[in-house]
Structure 1
Amino acid sequence: MLLKDMIKNKLISNRNELYRRDLASKENQYANWYRPHKFELQKALDAKDHTQGAKLSTSVVRYSHLRNYILSGNDMPEIIIAVDDGGKLTEYAETMIRDFFAENPAVNFVYGDEDRIDEDGELRDPWFKPDWSPDTFLSTFYIGSIFAFRSSELALINPGDRTAVDIESRTRLEADTEEEVRAAKSDLDDSMKSWIYGVLCLKIAQADGGFSVRSHGKFPIGHIPEILCHAADKFDPWDSNLIRSSLTGRFSSDSASTRLISIIIPSKDNPKVLLECIKSIEKFTTSSPYEIIVVDNGSSDENRAEVQKILKVHGEKDIGGYEYIYEPMEFNFSKMCNLGASHANGELLLFFNDDITIGKPGWLSYLSEKAKLPYVGAVGMKLLYPNSDMIQHAGVVNVHAGPIHKLQYCSNKETHYFGYNKGVRNVIAVTGACLMVRADLFHRVGGFDEENFAVAFNDIDLCLKIYEQGYYNVVRNNMYLYHHESLSRGDDRKDKVKQQRLSGEQERLLAAHPALFARDPFYSEHLSQDPAVREFEIAVEDVELRNPHYVTPVLVAKPFPEKWTNPVLRLGVEFANSLDRWLTGPLTDAEGENSIRNGYYLKGYSFVINANQAVYDRFLLLKALDTSDQLWKLPVGSAYRPDIAENLTDQINDKLTGFQAIIKSDALPKGRYLIGMLVVDKTSRQRIINWSDVKLIVK
């Protein structure tokens, strides 16, 4: 017995060591992504003609020296590349910047993505930025550690080509020189940050149409979505207080007090919920004039009378007008909102769910001060789940599978991805649970689509139509409301009929706006496209999948013993479809069909309860459902899943619980296959099987 234990302990030790090596190779996901990505990028650059870009002269200037350099009176190159002190340009950065300006003669300012090099020389903390986002810029200096501009723009900053001697005293010049020395050793002081942010960058953006409706859909400020700078430290985005003196006052809450806001609330048979909503509006709305329009699609007589009473009491308080529209019909959120809008008197429309409550004053002014701006489209607000700090909505992003609420279920106490959940952000869409838009713009784009999006995705469709007209949608993550999500009509995902309708509406949404699912301009293509990933994580698997390693299914000769089936093996299948669908989205060819030319991709996670996960080899099982009782087995690769590990308490070596496998399109006969898993304990004779309810359909 002692010898057997010694052998088993040795086997376990060997498996633990293999796990540690595998984990070490996968834990720094960004470094694993960057190496192959850089190789592919360099190949593309080597094959490109750089003749026109090479004609442009450039100079690289540190942030601390930038003001003195511009005011020096010396001859300027055509392109000035500004880099934060301590930052290091990537070897391809200057080439890409010169090429960008050569290829985009109408653009005068561009910024790029960045990361940092830690003390061990490892690359970490990638910051993949959105395309030009004017309201994000006014909230925080998201330009970060690197930007470049044409020197011809300096006439905006320094009219008449005055030199530093002309406009500043010798004392100031000497102070600047000392400042440059200090900046090389420490952070820039606020005066230099304010000059870069509020004088240089803001003025160029204003002059170049950065705060206007986009012409022909093109962004006036450029963005190169590649790592152009390795910073010495993780950039802490500068606060907008640095540019308060540079703004015009158009963002003050006082400017909201002259515009009537129509708050349109669809509601049926929810008088108690509606009452709490209206009471919170009354309590926390002071400076903004408003009217409340309740659209009821068929409450019972009792509840109808209750709603009338609630609105009558509200009207007697003389704090805002009201209207009650009662029109029995099947639930059609789009039609109800459009009906409310047709009765509205306000310059601004706020579509508002009856299951939202407000917790702070000033909320309506926060919405209206953005919605009134001529270049802004739809405006939303961060929503939290009730009695918690858990995020329900902080802006919608489009991944290849469709729209998702990024950061949903994450804690609002934490600061996520360079302050995404704390400031004002431009996004592709906001939720219709709280959506403000100018009435004229709403009617110009046709309002909500009643025919195609009766229940779901109507808000996304509206926002996409607004974006396609050149406007910028905004989410105010510097204020929050509480949302009892789907309280008024239930959760569609828990009803099979509703789920089928939800799927159909999503397909129609993708068909109506295919370009925006190929790439969301406010969400980097280098970030995860997995709808299950709520945080901002690198799309490390996508680089690997573009050079797929195929595995071959093996036909199992005889059925496995029934006793092997055990629910202690937990299996979650998150994707089982064509590889092309994963990489490029649902619409992958001209006919809108899902291509299968590159095979099928299966991914998910699995673990054995109360066990050391390192001892198991894992195999996916595919059970034929249509033509035979055939069973196929294939090995899977492990994937780093800290999100799973943090929710497990009794497992050992649990950070590689993810799995993935790619099979060729002709690897299996056509038909449906139920997906399961077999795990084999390599330190004992234990075998465990369990099945999911997910099917792979082989065409």
Structure 2
Amino acid sequence: MILDRQGSLADVITTVGSLSESRYPELVPMLVSANAEVVGEANIPARLVQDGSHVEAINELVAGADLDWVLVVDAGVEFTSTGLLAIAQKVASDPQCRALYADEFQLTELGARGACFKPDFNLDLLLSFPLSLCRYWFIRADVFRTEGGFDPIFADAMELEFILRLVERDGLVGLEHVDEVLLTSRVPQLRANPVEQVAIERHLEQRGYQARVESFLPGRYRIDYGHEVGPKVSIVVAVRDHLSLLQRCVDSLLEKTRYGHYELLLVDCESQEPATRQWLDGVEALDSEQVKVWRFAGELNYSAMVNAVAMSVESDYLLLLSHDVRIVHEDWLEQLLNHALRPEVGVVGAKVLDAMGCIEQAGIILGLHEVAGRTFVGEPGDAAGYMNRLQVPQNYSAVGSACMMVRREAFIAVDGMDAERLGAFYGDVDLCLRIRASGLLNVWTPDCVVMRDGIDLPVLAIDGALARQAALKAEREQMLQRWLPVLARDPAYNANLSLSGHGFGFEYGTRRVRHPLLPQVLCYPADATGCGHYRIRQPLEALREAGLVEGTFSGTHLTPVELERFGAQTVVFQRQIMDPQIEGMREVKALSGAFRVYELDDYLPNLPLKSAHRETMPRDVLKSLRQAVALTDRFVVSTAPLAEAFADLHSDIRVVPNCLPLPWWSNLRSRRRRGSKPRVGWAGGSSHQGDLELIADVVRELAGEVEWVFFGMCPEKLRPYVHEFHIGVPIELYPAKLASLDLDLALAPLEQNLFNDCKSNLRLLEYGACGFPVICSDVLCYRGDLTATRVKNRFKDWVDAIRMHLSDLKATAAAGDTLRAQVLGNWMLDGENLVRWRAAWLPD
């Protein structure tokens, strides 16, 4: 439904035109407009409306049309080409879905574009800031008709009122979100909307609340739920020295807490400083009913301490409060109870500011810092935050324990905190997740503000940096094993937002995929040069262009959360032989269901003695290889001899020969006989010292008969005999540079050893793509059907073969043409060669 409130034909044409570019074809555009001219020229089903009767018109059009889903948009929005396809995929896979929404780009009046990346359905965010979620909802047509469509009384808040009716009917079930950009719209204006406020009040009344709704800023609301009960709250403060901070916390709490039905439990966790112990003894001697000192003996385990308190008190609510918190507003406890007393809520967190008045805790985002992290840290305390989220109450998956209120009944129902495995770092996050999984909401509210200096007792209680690191690692592994899918897709966050820093940074386009229905492949290339391109980067790019897979590559291992978030079906590890790399592979095997492929192009256990890469190999490279390969589901190599040499390392070894990527090699041209003498040369990298020494005497012998051309490497002792030496270039420039050498004859010498026997014929392919005729060593890797002159590694054989070619340059050039035709016809990265790569990388 295109709603043309302004009577703009241009806006209507813009929206209809963008729909014509959609990859999803089953669309029925309809128009509701206040302009008769627009209705007459739109060429789509249309209804002319006057006096704000657009709601009735929409309802009538839906009632009379054969539709499965309905969406109302403003005229002028532009749909993305894939957004509707993503919506269709979602509803096809989720029969329970009643209504859903997606993300959007937004344009300012000056043309600047921003992004509105929304969380999954978030009841408290919807009620406190409707505009953040209540735009452009897809509604199932039968649900729309059953509910009687939009309510004309709420014409200025029709989507909000309708969605709230769905909440009243069946709760949050079937209200979904797709984190794909659906459309680009104009930035909506935040304005006072009395109809919107009435819709919220009516909804809360239907749910049994005598609530008061206040619009404290345009379009943003503060709700007082009007609870009549005043339950007892046990405020739990862990104490281990730091007396000055503790005293400030207690003094501020006693002076500035208006709500009186609480008890303050100071739990001494074996404080060592005499002043702290003396002060606690003095408090205990007061025998106060409101301020009590409890003793917790043994090694400090924060989770165990909280569990012990929870099982001992009779209060309905626990308030976990850090010892370094300072109370600044008298109604802080009432603001927490305002949400905690709602039967659908299990946990409530506060806005915590640091000593400078900046954000210290404002909800926790899952996936940050590899497990979970505090968001908006360091922003000014009065900042609005992304999508104004620092201004309004909302549902988070977890909140921090610096100031956290928990329904004691819910705490006990999930067996409290995990004292055995999560005693210091992630116990609060795990608790929130288990309470959320039980069906309750976790709420963060900016209306309760406290301040702290940020000293975490549970962490400081672990003596020594190494011990703290070990404890953190153990808790991290436990959280990943327990919650990885949830950590990767926090419903309070968005997959288009970054998992780095303090959250809410843009990551749109990073590691995203163009075709989500294709198999997703994540590759870890070993380098950014030769093998990394030929065996990983170029095959992946060619597969993507051919529409056979989707995916990306990364120079570093993704964290388990990032990998889970990416959703790779296959992970390809190329030449991963160092201990940190192998440890990362172990983590992938333990935590990910992805198919794992190991890729190798060389026989690493026996590098040539003069290879520049020998010193970079692990001391026992074969042991490292065995460990790495054993962690994968398949082993892919470039040649049959390499597969035979590694036959005992894996039960599933696939051979995929090297091929040349078309963009680099398919259209090269070189000139012949442009030198005063025949141009004879060699090209390659810095690891061929031993190979070039094979032809050192040949170079000297023929220096007067040819122009020697070397590219990439040239031993110093050969420089006096070389006509041209070209230094190496970046890999993407290598093909064109090689062709520009205009060689009349190219040489490919290789030492006779197991390493070279296992190599591929890549050098012949590269020379052939340039049309160079080739003389090569008669070694295993160069044997086959490719046209080349093969010689034994003897001085006479090399010299005779070169002079033979020089004696008939016409026939030599014809051999180069034949080789080029063979390479371009059979050895390019396309067709069946690509299918072979796909089969090797994907599970059978």
Conserved 8 A contact 1:348-1:436 = yes
Kindly indicate which of the two structures has a greater share of residues assigned to helix.
2
Structure-1 residue corresponding to 2:201: 245
Shift of 1:550: 4.9
Structure-2 residue corresponding to 1:513: 483
Shift of 1:410: 2.4
| CA offsets 1:374-408 (integer angstroms, 9 cap, x no match) | 22222111211113224444333324821111212
Are 1:113 and 2:103 counterparts?
yes
Shift of 1:310: 3.7
Structure with the greater alpha carbon radius of gyration = 2
TM-score with structure 1 length normalisation?
A: 0.63
| CA offsets 1:496-539 (integer angstroms, 9 cap, x no match) | 3212211111111111112212321221112113x335443224
Distance change in 2, residues 1:410/1:523 (3 Å): same
Kindly indicate which of the two structures has a greater share of residues assigned to strand.
1
Partner Cα separation in structure 1 for residue 349 and residue 182 of structure 2? 32
Identify the structure with bigger relative contact order (alpha carbons < 8 Å, sequence gap 6+): 1
Conserved 8 A contact 1:578-1:599 = no
Partner Cα separation in structure 1 for residue 31 and residue 449 of structure 2? 41
Structure-2 residue corresponding to 1:265: 237
Alignment of 1:119-268 (within 5 A): 124-141=113-130, 142-154=132-144, 158=148, 192-197=155-160, 199-210=161-172, 219-233=173-187, 236=190, 241=197, 243-246=199-202, 247-248=204-205, 249-250=210-211, 252=224, 254-255=226-227, 257-268=229-240
Structure-1 residue corresponding to 2:342: 373
Structure-2 residue corresponding to 1:75: 63
From 422, 446, 450, the counterpart of 2:391: 422
Distance change in 2, residues 1:288/1:137 (3 Å): farther
Secondary structure of 2:557 counterpart: strand
| CA offsets 1:102-150 (integer angstroms, 9 cap, x no match) | 543333221111112467877x312121111111111111224311213
Structure-2 residue corresponding to 1:479: 448
Structure-1 residue corresponding to 2:527: 552
Secondary structure of 1:456 counterpart: coil
Partner Cα separation in structure 2 for residue 384 and residue 308 of structure 1? 31
Q: Partner letter of residue 82 of structure 1?
A: V
Conserved 8 A contact 1:425-1:477 = no
Distance change in 2, residues 1:65/1:308 (3 Å): farther
Distance change in 2, residues 1:68/1:361 (3 Å): farther
Shift of 1:456: 1.0
- Range moving further from structure 2, 545-554 or 269-278: 545-554
Q: Partner letter of residue 323 of structure 1?
A: K
Conserved 8 A contact 2:238-2:267 = yes
| CA offsets 1:290-328 (integer angstroms, 9 cap, x no match) | 11222212124652341243466693xxxx734321132
Partner Cα separation in structure 2 for residue 622 and residue 336 of structure 1? 55
Are 1:277 and 2:274 counterparts?
no
Partner Cα separation in structure 1 for residue 526 and residue 404 of structure 2? 47
Are 1:90 and 2:80 counterparts?
yes
Structure-2 residue corresponding to 1:180: none
Partner Cα separation in structure 2 for residue 312 and residue 387 of structure 1? 36
Conserved 8 A contact 2:359-2:376 = no
| CA offsets 1:654-699 (integer angstroms, 9 cap, x no match) | xxxxxxxxxx9999xxxxxxxxxxxxxxxxxxxxxxxxxxxxxxxx
Are 1:591 and 2:560 counterparts?
no
Distance change in 2, residues 1:81/1:60 (3 Å): farther
Secondary structure of 1:404 counterpart: strand
| CA offsets 1:585-630 (integer angstroms, 9 cap, x no match) | 7897563379895899xxxxxxxxxxxxxxxxxxxx99959649xx
Partner Cα separation in structure 1 for residue 555 and residue 464 of structure 2? 19
Conserved 8 A contact 2:233-2:263 = yes
Partner Cα separation in structure 2 for residue 130 and residue 226 of structure 1? 12
| CA offsets 1:205-262 (integer angstroms, 9 cap, x no match) | 221312xxxxxxxx43111221112112267598874645322335536516521111
Shift of 1:485: 1.5
Partner Cα separation in structure 1 for residue 360 and residue 197 of structure 2? 26
Conserved 8 A contact 1:261-1:346 = yes
Secondary structure of 1:513 counterpart: helix
Partner Cα separation in structure 1 for residue 433 and residue 33 of structure 2? 39
Unaligned runs of 5+ in 1: 1-37, 169-190, 211-218, 556-573, 601-620, 629-663, 668-699
Shift of 1:430: 0.9
Structure-2 residue corresponding to 1:407: 376
Q: Partner letter of residue 252 of structure 2?
A: S
Structure-1 residue corresponding to 2:541: none
Partner Cα separation in structure 2 for residue 337 and residue 436 of structure 1? 12
Conserved 8 A contact 2:317-2:407 = yes
Partner Cα separation in structure 1 for residue 291 and residue 596 of structure 2? 58
Secondary structure of 2:420 counterpart: coil
Secondary structure of 1:146 counterpart: coil
Distance change in 2, residues 1:498/1:390 (3 Å): same
Partner Cα separation in structure 1 for residue 266 and residue 555 of structure 2? 41
TM-score with structure 2 length normalisation?
A: 0.53
Structure-2 residue corresponding to 1:672: none
Partner Cα separation in structure 2 for residue 384 and residue 623 of structure 1? 52
- Range moving further from structure 2, 512-521 or 575-584: 575-584
Are 1:497 and 2:451 counterparts?
no
Partner Cα separation in structure 2 for residue 543 and residue 335 of structure 1? 42
Distance change in 2, residues 1:229/1:152 (3 Å): same
Structure-1 residue corresponding to 2:406: 437
From 262, 268, 272, the counterpart of 1:290: 262
Are 1:335 and 2:265 counterparts?
no
- Range moving further from structure 2, 236-245 or 367-376: 236-245
Shift of 1:342: 1.5
Conserved 8 A contact 2:488-2:561 = no
From 239, 261, 276, the counterpart of 1:303: 276
Distance change in 2, residues 1:488/1:456 (3 Å): closer
Secondary structure of 1:226 counterpart: strand
Partner Cα separation in structure 2 for residue 362 and residue 622 of structure 1? 69
- Range moving further from structure 2, 147-156 or 452-461: 147-156
Partner Cα separation in structure 2 for residue 87 and residue 68 of structure 1? 22
Unaligned runs of 5+ in 2: 1-17, 35-51, 212-222, 514-519, 531-553, 566-583, 600-612, 621-634, 639-844
Conserved 8 A contact 1:194-1:242 = no
Partner Cα separation in structure 1 for residue 156 and residue 229 of structure 2? 33
Distance change in 2, residues 1:283/1:474 (3 Å): same
Q: Partner letter of residue 509 of structure 1?
A: M
| CA offsets 1:28-75 (integer angstroms, 9 cap, x no match) | xxxxxxxxxx9xx99xx78xxx9xxx5x97857699765233565873
Conserved 8 A contact 2:362-2:444 = no
Alignment of 1:560-599 (within 5 A): 576-577=556-557, 582-584=562-564, 589=588, 591-592=590-591
